[in-house]
Amino acid sequence: MTAPHVLIVEAPYYAEIAAGLLRGARRVLDEAGATHEVVRVAGAFELPGAVRLALKAMARAGGPRWDGFVALGCVVRGETDHYDHICREAARGIMDLTVQFGAPVAFGVLTVDDEAQAEARARDDEMNKGAEAARAVLVQIALARGWGV
């Protein structure tokens, strides 16, 4: 069986946080022998749309082929309800893609009250949520392959 090929879709609005999440995801994928590509979008709200575009590109004859997707980003609570809308829609959009298309998509988007919480979850340690998302997508890819999907 070939090594999984994963597309990481990164929203680097909080650049240092996103970089930490990306390092964690890359480390896990590299350790698993998976290959990966990275694309960047403006923010967390755009993550589901980018994964959908990738799925459409895969549907074209001769298009690229990915076995799974990792969505990475960070949303920090502010003074308005914008935070709630972005978090809800980013999560719902990723879940809709997963259910509708059966695509292995991992949600590595931090939804935090402040940047200190985000930094704690993007460090190069066992708490890194990018690494956790990469592990999750590898499990979903193995499940899909095991069922011949």
Q: Where are the domains of the chain?
A: 5-146
Q: Give all strands of the β-sheet with 105-112 in edge-to-edge order.
A: 35-40, 5-10, 68-76, 105-112
Mean pLDDT, 10 residues at a time, the chain of 149 residues:
95 98 98 98 98 96 92 95 96 97 97 97 96 98 95
Catalytic residues: 82
Q: Are 134 and 70 in contact (CB under 8 A)?
A: yes
What does DSSP assign to residue 134? Answer: H
Q: What is the architecture of the domain spanning 5-146?
A: 3-Layer(aba) Sandwich (3.40)
Distance CA 148, CA 126 (A): 32
Distance CA 135, CA 31 (A): 10
